[in-house]
Amino acid sequence: MIVQIKDISRYVDQEVTIRAWMYNKRSSGSIHFLQIRDGGGRLQTTMLKGEVPDEVFELADGLTMESSIIVTGVVREDKRSPTGFELAISDLEVVQMAEEYPLQKKEHGVDFLFTNRHLYLRSESQWVILRVRATIIKACIDFLDQRGFVRIDSPILTPTSCEGTSTLFETDYFGESAYLSQSGQLYNEAAIMSLGKVYCFGPTFRAEKSKTRRHITEFWMLEPEMAYYDLEANMELQEDLILHIIEKVLKVHGEELSGVLKRNLNKLSKVEKPFPRLTYDEAMKKLSELGSNWGYDEGLGAEEETLLSQQYDNPLFITHFPMQQKAFYMKRDSDNPSLTLSADLLAPEGYGEIVGASVREDDLKLLEEMRKLHNIPAEPLAWYYDLRRFGSVPHSGFGMGLARVVAWLCGLHHVREAVPWPRTLTRIYP
């Protein structure tokens, strides 16, 4: 009977077969202890000399790390084992005897690990991180689907920018210039005029020449867009989404997070709504009180976000950013047109911005003023202007960076750990 390690507790005292890789090995004369993994979990196995043919025992003695194997044996309960079970091997088949494995049980430098990313993915920490990432993705989709959202896939190749031309990746499109998408938002705005509430979830690209621990050039972003949502309704939706994600991750991966990644789960368990809110002006005042000399017009840098978010156990909303700091499509505050109806959500523990949100400008004349101010070409946006000509409505949306959420929940120092194949300013291999 072929089974997976994650289901091993259902087969106590039964003979099973597991198709796996050898993760580690130690021997003590007449006994081999083989730690194996199969993608769904890890399991300790034992092989006793005299209880298997001599050639099988010798075969196990020569196994190398990451050799692919098929083992058969009886499942036993064993409280000394990390999983509470072990497999008493009666037979072993080697599918492929691995060459000397480059990633040994020792410290390796960051550059070495990312040059060998294709192998580093097999490490226990990456195994946990990638599973958490998958759970977050599913939690997001389930949450929005249950709230009546419709998924709309936005294009990756676009004719213009929505976040500023300085951070675009340009490519040739049959003799024309095209750009890798910075966001699916503008297309989502078109879709809500048909469906009311939509989201896209896909890769986005930013050509920022940044080397901070929060930046990568290719990342996945969740982008909901909602007709008739004001800024407060938008933030309440974000609160519910974040709490749903945390609940699912703790339920599915709590033991792995604390056991393998040494994540402090109490800090995640304490997150509750409502999340605190500060206007940009209030945030700048608080920064001054905390000893920061950051200038008002400079925006919030990584250090400032860290300093602010460290003051709270919950994620923190910063709202009403100055107009000149934000994108052309953001609606201005009617009470103070120099400010936008915008909000950045900062994760606690110094993890910084994980969500950017705003109300979108629904007035054609005001949108045109902002486009000119940001020096964005009009022709590629002709279709976007039509949305303000034919049944325009108040609407808002947000973008949530998946890698930053994974980094926060897993307690990672750098977002490159939260992406299977990270792309940074200096790395596009492998």
pLDDT in tens, 88-134: 999 999 999 999 999 987 789 999 999 999 999 999 999 999 999 99
Owning domain of residue 127: 117-418
Q: Final residue of a domain: which of 96, 127, 156?
A: 96
60 and 145 in one domain?
A: no
330 and 291 in one domain?
A: yes
Domain contains 222: yes
350 and 385 in one domain?
A: yes
Q: Provide the CATH number for the domain around residue 67.
A: 2.40.50.140
Q: Is the separation of the CB atoms in 44 and 69 below 8 Å?
A: no
Measured distance CA(276)–CA(80) in Å, rounded: 45
Q: Provide the CATH number for the domain around residue 174.
A: 3.30.930.10
Closest CA to 191 of 425, 383, 341, 417: 383
326 and 388 in one domain?
A: yes
Measured distance CA(125)–CA(329) in Å, rounded: 40
pLDDT (0 to 100) of residue 101: 96
pTM value is 0.96
- Domains in the chain, number: 2
pLDDT (0 to 100) of residue 296: 86
Strand order in the sheet with 157-158: 157-158, 176-180, 170-173
224 and 333 in one domain?
A: yes
CB atoms within 10 A of CB 178: 18
Weakly modelled stretches of the chain, pLDDT under 70: 161-166
pLDDT (0 to 100) of residue 159: 87
Domain contains 13: yes
